[in-house]
Amino acid sequence: MGTLNFVVLIPFLAAMLIPLFYKKGTRLHIGLLPMIVAVSLFSYLLFYIPQIANGKTFLHTISWIPSYGINFTAYLDGLSLILALLITGIGTLVILYSIYYLSENEQLGHFYTYLMLFMGAMLGVVLSDNMMVLYVFWELTSISSFLLIAFWYQRKRSREGAQKSLLITVSGGFGMLIGFLMIYTMTGTLSVREVIQIMPEMTGHGLFVPAMLLVLFGAFTKSAQFPFHIWLPDAMEAPTPVSAYLHSATMVKAGIYLVARFTPVFGGEGIWFWIVTGVGLFTLFWGSFQAVRQTDLKALLAFSTISQLGMIMSMFGMGSVALHFGYSTESVFYSQATFAALFHLVNHSTFKGALFMAVGIVDHEVGTRDIRRLGGLATIMPITFTVSLIGSFSMAGLPPFNGFLSKEMFFQAAVDITELGVFHMDTIGNLIPIVAWVASIFTFVYSMIIVFQTFLGPYKEERLERPANEGPGGMLISPVILAGLVVLIFLMPNMLGNYIIRPAVESVFPTLVTEMNLGVEISAWHGLNTALWMTIGVIVLGILLYSFPRAWRWIYAIFPIGWSLNTLYNFTLEQSVKSSRKFTNSYMTGLLRHYLMYIYLFFILLVAGAFALTGSYDFTISGNAEISIFEWIIALTLIIAAISILFAKSRLTAILLNSVLGYGVALLFVIFRAPDLALTQMVIETVTTVLFLVAYYFLPEWKKENESRRINLSKLLISIGFGASFTAVALAVQNNRLFDRISTYFENSYELAGGRNIVNTILSDFRGFDTMLEVVVLLIAGIGVYSIIKLKAGNRGDKFENQ
Residues of span 639-678 touching another protein by CB under 8 A: 639, 642-643, 645-646, 651, 654-655, 658, 661-662, 665, 668-669, 671-677
User: Does 593 sit near another protein (CB under 8 A)?
Assistant: yes
Determine the Cα–Cα distance for residues 507 and 638; give it in Å rounded to an integer: 85
Nearer to another protein, 17 or 759 (CB): 759
* Inter-residue contact 216 to 175 (CB < 8 Å): no
Determine the Cα–Cα distance for residues 113 and 656; give it in Å rounded to an integer: 75
Nearer to another protein, 39 or 597 (CB): 597
* Inter-residue contact 381 to 468 (CB < 8 Å): yes
Q: Smallest distance, Å, CB 436 to another protein?
A: 60
Q: Smallest distance, Å, CB 664 to another protein?
A: 8
Name the segment binding another protein (CB under 8 A); options: 35-43, 131-139, 344-352, 698-706: 698-706
Phi-psi region of 342 (alpha: psi -120 to 50; beta: other; left: phi over 0): alpha
The DSSP symbol for 296 reads B
Q: Smallest distance, Å, CB 315 to another protein?
A: 59
User: Does 770 sit near another protein (CB under 8 A)?
Assistant: yes
Q: Considering only residues 107, 171, 530, 757, which one is a binding residue for another protein as defined by CB under 8 A?
A: 757
Q: Smallest distance, Å, CB 772 to another protein?
A: 11
Determine the Cα–Cα distance for residues 545 and 552; give it in Å rounded to an integer: 7
Amino acid type, 251: M
Q: Smallest distance, Å, CB 649 to another protein?
A: 13
Nearer to another protein, 56 or 593 (CB): 593
Binding to another protein (CB under 8 A): which residues in 240-279? none
Q: Considering only residues 295, 572, 580, 589, which one is a binding residue for another protein as defined by CB under 8 A?
A: 589
Residues 6+ apart with CB under 8 A from 305: 224, 232, 247, 248, 252, 287, 352
Nearer to another protein, 320 or 749 (CB): 749
Residue 104 in 3-state DSSP?
Answer: coil
Q: For 117-132, give the secondary structure using H, E and C.
A: HHHHHHHHHHHECEHH
Q: Considering only residues 68, 789, 796, 802, which one is a binding residue for another protein as defined by CB under 8 A?
A: 789
Identify the burial level of 412 via C-beta atoms within 10 angstroms of its C-beta, where 0-12 means exposed, 13-18 middle and 19 or more buried: buried
Nearer to another protein, 561 or 627 (CB): 627
Identify the burial level of 254 via C-beta atoms within 10 angstroms of its C-beta, where 0-12 means exposed, 13-18 middle and 19 or more buried: buried
Binding pattern for the stretch 338-377 against another protein, x by CB under 8 A and - elsewhere: ----------------------------------------
Q: Smallest distance, Å, CB 206 to another protein?
A: 49
Name the segment binding another protein (CB under 8 A); options: 245-253, 260-268, 522-530, 702-710: 702-710
Nearer to another protein, 555 or 742 (CB): 742
Residues 6+ apart with CB under 8 A from 312: 256, 280, 341, 344, 345, 348
Residue 74 in 3-state DSSP?
Answer: strand
User: Does 696 sit near another protein (CB under 8 A)?
Assistant: yes
Binding to another protein (CB under 8 A): which residues in 602-631? 621, 623-627, 631
User: Does 723 sit near another protein (CB under 8 A)?
Assistant: yes
Number of residues that bind another protein (CB under 8 A): 96
Nearer to another protein, 94 or 667 (CB): 667
Q: Smallest distance, Å, CB 614 to another protein?
A: 21
Q: Report in angstroms the alpha-carbon separations of 490 from 388, 447, 486, 494, 522.
A: 17, 18, 7, 9, 10
Q: Smallest distance, Å, CB 6 to another protein?
A: 57
Q: Smallest distance, Å, CB 616 to another protein?
A: 18
Binding to another protein (CB under 8 A): which residues in 727-746? 727, 730-731, 733-735, 741-743, 746
Determine the Cα–Cα distance for residues 88 and 92; give it in Å rounded to an integer: 6
Determine the Cα–Cα distance for residues 54 and 51; give it in Å rounded to an integer: 5
Residues 6+ apart with CB under 8 A from 135: 173, 176, 177, 180
Q: Smallest distance, Å, CB 683 to another protein?
A: 9
Nearest to 470 by CA among 557, 341, 567, 364: 364
Nearer to another protein, 756 or 796 (CB): 756
